[in-house]
Structure 1
């Protein structure tokens, strides 16, 4: 069962409730562009997963079939409990090394780039974690945890982590001695020096207490969310590439071949001595920290939000139906998703080419969706064609109205 697919409506319901709590308590934990950026990264991650999750499943299945030391029964409740706890132990080390090693941080950093902290941040996930993440869960296969149990507890672990991404729930007393809570996970998302690289557990905080990585949230040290090298973008594609690009740049600049190779696997933040000397990087000063933002007219915000809804619906459909698609259809669907979310990111940043990119997106929609249908040997019904034509027309009218309003403001 795809637990994440069935959870999607509840995710958005809870986000709506959190927005109501913001208004009721007079807080402001959401900014539209930031939330759309987080949600875009999440949609891109889930659709990318249709193409990439096979790597982890195939390697796990192979290890379970050929290396398992024990035969654990899928029908035993104790096996499920053991697997749930063991998974979180493996997750702790995956998560911890995801902060401590550059190549792993390049993937995981996506989840930490938001400078806000709310339930939309929980959905901000990487699209490249599949490259190495599977390695950390092979011990579960070796001890004989059946694949169906592994997949199920992995989904449960991920779903648990959703609720801890909020600023509305205070400390929870004894609960925080055993489980991850909103308070100790807020610490994990901080860029304050005292909080950085702490509280790695997914469900259980006991691993952090055992291995010396626990840090309590302190009243005298308010959390500053985000990363020390800001993303400074609303684009989910760049969010996934930023750290890789930085490592690649330093690797090219390094004079030593050894440094060019080891930079990817060194501790996060390590740079070759010659590169650091020639291209110094300023250390962050939290006293001068300002959240990234781009002034965006209300009409631009509404347009971006409504267009994003299309990709939420499309991503949900792909998540529900995509496992039965062939590779060509999956690649086309992923390409449609990637380009669309990239175009929305350009729109949110008010790039000079944003309007042109938006028109190109609208023009490509019928071609890409038609190609997907063709690859699946499906004939689009007349209702779908008319709906697509109506959507395109309404979008074009929206672009025209926004551009007209912009010209009137400039003339005034």
Structure 2
């Protein structure tokens, strides 16, 4: 069962309720551009995951078949309980190393880039984590946990983590001692020095208490969310590449070949001495912290939000039917999704080229619709063409109208 797919409507229901709670309590935990950027990285992650998740699953299955020590059955209830706890233990170490090693932080940093903290932040997921994350779950395969159980408890672990991404829930008494809660996960998303690299558990906070990485949220130290190397962009593609680019630049600048290689596997933030001397980086001054923002008109915001809805719908369709789709269709779908989400990010950044990019994006839908009909993904009648034509004309008209009242500062 695809738990994530069935959870999507509940995600958006809870996001709506959090927005109502914001209004009721007079808080402001949402900014449209930030929320769309978080959800865009989530859509990109689930879409590309249709192609990339098979890597970890294949390796896990091979390890389970050939290296498994104990033969466990998915029919035994205790197997599910053990696997659920075991998974969170493995997740703790993956998560911890994701903060402590450069190459792993390059993938995981996507989840921390938002400078807000709300339920859309939970949807902010990496598209490159599949490269190395599978290593940390091999102990489960070797122990004999069946792939079906592994996938199921992994999805449940991820679903649990959704609700802890909120500022509306205070400390929860005794619950704080055993489980991950909104309070101790707010600590995890902080860039305050006292809070950084703490509270790694997915479901259980016990691992952090056991291994010395627990930190309580302090009333006298309000959390400042985000990363110390700010993303300063609404581009979901750049969000996934930003820290890889930082490492690549430092590796290219290093004179020693040993430094060029080891920088990827050193502790997060480590830089070769010669690079640090020639290209020093200043420490962030949190007393002067200002959230990244680009002023937009109300019309620009509405346009971006409505365009994003299309990618949520198509992304949900792909999530539901990806296993039955041909490889070429999945590749084209990933490329189409990446282009569209990039265009929305460029729109939110008010880039000078975005109007032309939007025209190209809208026109590319024509051959893609034809391909979809050839693959029998949608009906072959005239109705899809009529709907696409209406959508294209409305979008072009809205973009033209917005261009005449384009009052926000334009970025190059």
* TM-score interval, normalised by the smaller of the two chains: over 0.9
Contact 1:333 1:372 in 2 (8 A): no
Q: For the structure 1 residues 76 and 355, does the alpha-carbon distance in structure 2 shift closer, same or farther, using more than 3 Å as the test?
A: same
* SS class of match (1:406): coil
> Which whole-Å CA distance do the structure 2 matches of 1:245 and 1:322 have between them?
31
Residue 48 of structure 2 is aligned to residue 80 of structure 1: no
Partner of 2:314: 314
Question: What is the root-mean-square deviation in Å for CA atoms of aligned residues?
Answer: 1.5
Report the Cα offset of residue 382 of structure 1. 2.1
Q: What residue number does 1:121 align with?
A: 121
Q: Does 1:214 align with 2:214?
A: yes
Match of 1:141?
A: 141
The answer for the alignment partner of 1:175 in structure 2 is: 175
Shift in alpha-carbon separation, 1:377–1:289, aligned structure 2, 3 A: closer
Q: Match of 2:2?
A: 2
The CA deviation string for residues 381-411 of structure 1, in whole angstroms up to 9 with x for no partner, is: 322121111111110111111112238999x
Alpha-carbon spacing, 1:393–1:272, altered in 2? closer, same or farther (3 Å)? same
Say if 1:329 and 1:376, in contact at 8 Å, map to a contact too: no
Kept in 2, the 8 Å contact 1:247–1:264? The answer is yes
Q: How many residues align?
A: 410
**2:28 matched to 1:62?**
no
126 and 377 in structure 1: CA distance in 2 versus 1, 3 angstrom threshold: closer
| Counterpart for residue 394 of structure 1 | 394
Pair 1:25–1:407, CA change in 2 (3 A) = closer
- What is the match of residue 244 of structure 2? 244
| 8 Å Cα contact 1:199-1:214 kept in structure 2 | yes
Whole-Å Cα distance in 1 between the matches of residues 157 and 65 of structure 2? 24
Q: 1:110 to 1:408 in 2, by over 3 A?
A: closer
Report the 3-state secondary structure (helix = DSSP H, G, I; strand = E; otherwise coil) of the residue aligned with 2:162: coil
2:265 matched to 1:271? no
**3-state secondary structure, aligned to 1:304:** helix
8 Å CA contact 2:296, 2:408 repeated in 1: no
C-alpha displacement of 1:128: 0.2
CA contact (8 A) 1:332 1:372 kept: no
Comparing 390-399 and 33-42, the one that deviates more: 390-399
Tell me which moved more, 358-367 or 44-53.
Answer: 358-367
Gaps of 5+ in 1: none
Contact 1:45 / 1:126 at 8 angstroms: preserved in 2?
Answer: yes
1:355 maps to: 355
Distance 1:282 1:152, change over 3 A: same
- SS of 2:406's equivalent in the other structure is helix
- Distance in 2 between residues matched to 1:165 and 1:382, nearest whole Å: 44
Are the structure 2 counterparts of residues 307 and 408 from structure 1 closer, same or farther at C-alpha, using a change threshold of 3 Å? closer
How big is the shift at 1:249?
Answer: 0.5
Q: Match for residue 91 of structure 1?
A: 91
Q: Does structure 2 retain, via aligned residues, the 8 Å contact 1:188–1:199? A: yes
CA–CA distance in 2 between the matches of 1:407 and 1:84?
A: 52
Q: Is contact 1:332–1:371 with CA below 8 Å preserved after alignment?
A: no
Give the alignment's TM-score, normalised by structure 2: 0.98
Q: Structure 1 length as normaliser, TM-score?
A: 0.98
State whether residues 61 and 141 of structure 2, in contact with CA within 8 Å, keep that contact through their aligned partners in structure 1. yes
Corresponding residue of 1:104: 104
Residue in structure 1 matched with residue 253 of structure 2 by the alignment? 253
Structure-2 change in CA distance of 1:133 and 1:369 (3 Å) = farther
Cα gap change, 1:194 to 1:282, in 2 (>3 Å) = same
Q: What does the per-residue CA deviation read over 1:183-214, in whole Å, with 9 as the maximum and x for residues that have no partner?
A: 00000000000000000000000000000000
Question: Which residue number corresponds to residue 332 of structure 2?
Answer: 332
Cα pair 2:49 2:127 within 8 Å, conserved: yes
Shift of 1:321: 1.0
What is the CA–CA distance in structure 2 between the aligned matches of 1:257 and 1:110, rounded to whole Å? 28
1:69-117 deviation line (CA, Å, top 9, x unaligned): 0011111111000000000000000000000000000000000000000
Distance in 2 of aligned mates of 1:239 and 1:299: 25
Kindly state the Cα deviation for residue 368 of structure 1 after the two structures are TM-superposed: 2.6
The answer to whether structure 1 residue 288 and structure 2 residue 288 are counterparts is yes
Q: Give 2:405's aligned residue.
A: 405
Distance 1:330 1:193, change over 3 A: same
Deviation of the 1:326 alpha carbon = 1.1
